[in-house]
Amino acid sequence: MSETFDFTLDGATVTAQSGETIMQAADRAGIYIPRLCAHKELHPFGACRICTVLVNGRPQSSCTQPAAPGIVVENDTEALRNVRKSLVEMLFVEGNHYCMFCEKSGLCELQALGYRFGLLAPRYPYQFPKREMDASHPDIFVDRNRCVQCARCVRASRELDHKTVFEFSGRGAHKAIAVNADARLADTDVNGTDRAIDVCPVGCLLRKRYGFRTPIGQRKYDHQPIGSDIEAGHPPAAVNG
Amino acid sequence: MAAKPKVATASLAGCFGCHMSILDIDERILDLIELIDFDKSPIDDLKEFTGRCAIGLIEGGCCNEENVRNLIEFRKHCDLLISVGECAICGGIPALRNTLPLQECFDEAYKHGPTVYNPSGQYPNDPDLPLILNKVYPCHEVVKIDYHLQGCPPSADTIWAALTALLTGKPVQLPYELIKYD
Across residues A164-183, what is the average pLDDT?
A: 94
Q: Where are the domains of chain A?
A: 4-76, 97-223
CB A1 within 8 A of CB A21: no
Is residue A227 within 8 A of residue A115, CB to CB? The reply is no
Which residues on A lie below 8 Å from B95 (Cβ)?
Answer: 126, 128
- A4-76 folds as Ubiquitin-like (UB roll) (3.10.20)
pLDDT digits 0-9 by tens, A135-162 = 999 999 999 999 999 999 999 999 999 9
Domain ranges of chain B: 6-96+136-178
Work out the burial of residue A236: count CB atoms within 10 Å of its CB; fewer than 13 is exposed, 13-18 middle, 19 or more buried. middle
The rounded percent of chain A whose pLDDT value lies above 70 is 96
pLDDT over 90, % of chain B:
96
Q: How confident is the model at residue A173 (pLDDT cuts 50, 70, 90)?
A: confident
Pairing of strands B78-84, B53-59: parallel
Question: Considering only the top CATH level, what class is B6-96+136-178?
Answer: alpha beta
How many H-runs (helices) and E-runs (strands) does chain A carry?
A: 8, 10
Q: Which of A50-54, A147-151, A222-226, B170-174 has the lowest mean pLDDT?
A: B170-174
- Whether residue A112 has pLDDT greater than 80: yes
Answer yes or no: CATH 3.30.70.20 is held by domain A97-223. yes
Mean of the pLDDT values across residues A209-233?
A: 94
A73 closest CA partner among A3, A25, A18, A4: A25
Check CB contact of B91 with chain A, cutoff 8 Å: yes
In this structure, how many other beta carbons lie within 10 angstroms of the beta carbon of residue A12?
17
Q: Please give, rounded to a whole number of angstroms, the shortest distance from the CA of A129 to a CA of chain B.
A: 6
Chain B residues touching residue A121 (CB < 8 angstroms): 83, 89-90, 138, 140, 145, 148, 150
Q: Which of A102, A105, A128 is the closest to B98 by Cβ?
A: A128
Asked whether B127 and B178 are in contact (CB, 8 A), the reply is: no
